[in-house]
Amino acid sequence: MDQAREARPAAYRRIKEHILARIRAGNWKEGDAIPSEQALAAEFGVSRMTANRALRELSDEQVLVRVQGSGTFVAPPKSASTLLEIRSIAEEIAARGHRHRAELQRLERVRAGGALAAQFGLAAGAPLFHSVVVHYENELPIQVEDRHVNPALAPDYLGLDFGRTTANEHLMRVAPLEGVHFRIEARLPPPEVAAMLHIDARQPCLVLSRRTRSRGQVASVATLWHPADRYQFTGGF
């Protein structure tokens, strides 16, 4: 085998190094769009699959943020949230030495539609509690928490004072965690979420969809919206 070819970095690594070098040099700054898979594939003479791998790995490493239908962007520094444990966002903010404040936008009793009922393992039309809360860090909104709660496990939820405690803190007390399923994706926010986060609806968000279980039942289904330029999720062992 040709030694020069053997020593040459794999094509996807060359693309990664190129992107990292441009970012370090300041050619591409936070929030800037970078070339598409197709453009990178053409520039480096590789397949789109190879370019995709480079972008995917840089996204996994939180160097880039990929938004379906919009493109790939340079990720800025963000507030951090751990995925190894479910912590109250108020605790996370306090641990950073910052101030937490919550604004309750909606608190109501609703009937579960088909898809939501299926997530809870309930019949369509079953009663659920629903809340929408905006969480602030030093007066900057960093999360919209859209949550549905099983009344059988948290019967006092509608009486909760969200200015004194968070939904997560209350649920951890009344419905001890037995299991959790979550998914993270980059999405553009609906207009009402963008307004609550004080961002443009074209600005991508990191969205955590989380379902928790307690006492053999689904306790809560929550969708947590975070501006991609203000937040990150971390994990480790």
Q: Is the pLDDT of residue 123 over 90?
A: yes
Asked which of 1-10, 53-62, 99-108, 153-162 is least confident by mean pLDDT, the reply is 1-10
Q: What is the pLDDT of residue 76?
A: 62
R_g of the chain computed on alpha carbons? 21
Q: What is the mean pLDDT of residues 145-164?
A: 96
* 31 shares its domain with 84: no
Q: Is the pLDDT of residue 232 over 70?
A: no
* 213 shares its domain with 168: yes
* 128 shares its domain with 55: no
Quote the distance between the C-alpha of residue 169 and its chain's center. Answer: 20
* 186 shares its domain with 90: yes
The CATH code of the domain that includes 159 is: 3.40.1410.10
* 84 shares its domain with 187: yes
* 195 shares its domain with 127: yes
**The model scores a pTM over 0.85:** no
Nearest to 160 by CA among 168, 192, 152: 168
Among 41, 74, 107, which residue terminates a domain? 74
Q: Which pLDDT band, with edges at 50, 70 and 90, does 233 fall under?
A: low
* 69 shares its domain with 87: no
Question: Quick check: 116 and 211 in contact, CB under 8 A?
Answer: no
* 123 shares its domain with 205: yes
Among 74, 106, 125, which residue terminates a domain? 74
Q: Is the pLDDT of residue 125 over 50?
A: yes
b/e code 110-138 from CB counts within 10 Å (16+ = b): eebeeebbeebebeeebebbbbbbbbbbe
* 121 shares its domain with 204: yes
* 65 shares its domain with 107: no
The DSSP bridge partners found for residue 104 are: 133
Asked which of 26-30, 48-52, 108-112, 218-222 is least confident by mean pLDDT, the reply is 26-30
Please give the backbone phi and psi of residue 210, each rounded to the nearest 5 degrees, phi first: -135, 130
Which secondary-structure segment (H or E) carries 74?
strand 71-74
Q: Is the pLDDT of residue 3 over 70?
A: no
Q: Give pLDDT tens digits for 55-93.
A: 988 887 778 877 766 788 887 655 444 444 567 888 888
Q: Which two tokens stand for residue 1?
A: 């085998």
b/e code 172-187 from CB counts within 10 Å (16+ = b): beebeeeeeeeeeebb
Q: If DSSP codes are grouped into helix, strand and coil, which group holds residue 35?
A: coil
Q: C-alpha dihedral over 164, 168, 171, 176, to 10 degrees? A: -130
- How many CA atoms does the CB half-sphere of 225 hold within 13 Å? 24
The range of the structural domain enclosing residue 11 comes to: 3-74
Which secondary-structure segment (H or E) carries 71?
strand 71-74
* 182 shares its domain with 70: no
The CATH code of the domain that includes 58 is: 1.10.10.10
* 70 shares its domain with 162: no
Report the number of distinct structural domains present in the chain: 2
